[in-house]
Structure 1
Amino acid sequence: MESRPWGANPTEVRHGWVRHPRCVGRARAHLRKVMADWGMAAIEDAALVVLSELLTNAVLHARVPSDRLIETCFRREAEGVRITVDDADCRGLETGAPRGEGGRGLDIVTALARCWGVCPRDGVGKSVWALVAAPGEEPEPVRMRVWVQRVQAGDRVAGVGGEREVADVREDRDGGRAEVVLGLQGGGELRLHAGSAVDVVRSVRW
């Protein structure tokens, strides 16, 4: 099974993996070495589990041609390490029950990561990311691009004229078109097609 390193710098390491179950163990070994080089032993175990969950989901469920690689990116940040798994499948994530090697469902990612999300990838497909951080750190609010279905109450929608806090999120399927309606604090709402993406600012704490 082949893999392809795409370069590294002191704060970011990228790698391409052939879509095969064995790549999960190899990617874990790769991340373990990176974490050791960065002196992040305190969060290594959590980071390895998070990587396993994200990469296993892509290997088992992404509908992509056999010649397309799955990409991983490990980025060192002030709070810890951001793990990103990219694939060429534009569909959302499979969030189901336990699955084979490392696959215990994305609920474990929620438990171990300070925050995680899914956003459209540059080009074709999606990026799934998670920030694994040391307990007790207080990060700055994070700006991210997410599919509108994953916007949460309390997020601040970024757009022309500044940011507006989201009070509630609901779906509207009237008229045969699926829309997500974001109710905004102070009045008003924002209607977006269910397949669209939006920039939000989200405050995340351990």
Structure 2
Amino acid sequence: MQADQSESAARECALELEAHPYRIQQIRRIVSAQLRYWRLDPLIDAASTGISELLANVHRHAKPDKQCVVKLTLDADRLTVAVADHDTRLPHLQPVEPTATSGRGLTMVEAMSDSWGTDLLPDDGGKVVWFVLRTPTRVPAPTLVPLRTAVPFEQALPERVPVPASVA
């Protein structure tokens, strides 16, 4: 996660990860914490649901790898949530049978957001799938907390607690 001390960077959060199922819950927690910090509690459920759906799509469909970047950008009246991956195939809404057990992710994103879309990255670098949520009121700038150093996402996660051999 990169952080800068300028006001514009304080309104952006980016995480790089591999889209695996166990990571999705971690990202939801990080996104929820960031939105609470920005005083956007009313958007937590919609943003978390949308992120989950987009990351699940990366996990299921992206090729050649599952590497992706989640980026939150807060402007005065909207939150943009974007997921970029290396696959150049663009997702699209598709009709889903009422009894189908999957295939509703983008339909959910469309229903809960104010807008959504996809963009190809330059030089066949992949794509970005994004959605926008309107903020409930004009959001004040958060109080900046100086960061000594930025740490890579993997290092920011809590370490696993070893299980004693007698318990395992």
**Fold in common (TM above 0.5):** yes
Which residue in the other structure is 1:132 paired with?
A: 133
The share of aligned pairs that are identical, in percent, is 26
- CA drift at 1:64: 1.9
Matched, 1:51 2:47: no
What is the aligned residue count?
128
In the alignment, is the contact (CA less than 8 A) between 1:61 and 1:94 conserved in 2?
no
Q: Distance in 2 between matches of 1:32 and 1:19?
A: 18
Whose RCO is larger (CA < 8 A, sep 6+)?
2
Please point out which of 71, 74, 97 is paired with 2:72: 74
Letter of the structure 2 residue corresponding to residue 45 of structure 1: D
- CA drift at 1:135: 6.2
Q: What SS is found at the alignment partner of 2:31?
A: helix
Which residue in the other structure is 1:88 paired with?
A: 86
Structure 1 residues 135 and 76 mapped into 2: Cα distance closer, same or farther (>3 Å)? closer
In the alignment, is the contact (CA less than 8 A) between 2:19 and 2:56 conserved in 1?
no
Q: Distance in 2 between matches of 1:133 and 1:104?
A: 22
Which residue in the other structure is 1:112 paired with?
A: 112
- CA drift at 1:48: 1.0
Letter of the structure 1 residue corresponding to residue 77 of structure 2: E
Structure 1 residues 65 and 50 mapped into 2: Cα distance closer, same or farther (>3 Å)? closer
Q: Distance in 1 between matches of 2:31 and 2:20?
A: 17
Q: Which has the higher strand share?
A: 1
Structure 2 length normalisation: TM-score?
0.68
Q: Distance in 1 between matches of 2:88 and 2:18?
A: 18
Structure 1 residues 33 and 135 mapped into 2: Cα distance closer, same or farther (>3 Å)? closer
- CA drift at 1:26: 1.0
Q: Distance in 2 between matches of 1:82 and 1:122?
A: 20
Which residue in the other structure is 1:22 paired with?
A: 22
Letter of the structure 2 residue corresponding to residue 127 of structure 1: V
Q: What SS is found at the alignment partner of 1:118?
A: strand
Letter of the structure 2 residue corresponding to residue 84 of structure 1: A
RMSD over equivalenced CA pairs, Å: 2.2
Report 1:180-195 matches (<5 A): none
Q: What SS is found at the alignment partner of 1:106?
A: helix
Which residue in the other structure is 1:195 paired with?
A: none
In the alignment, is the contact (CA less than 8 A) between 1:84 and 1:128 conserved in 2?
yes
Unaligned runs of 5+ in 2: 139-168
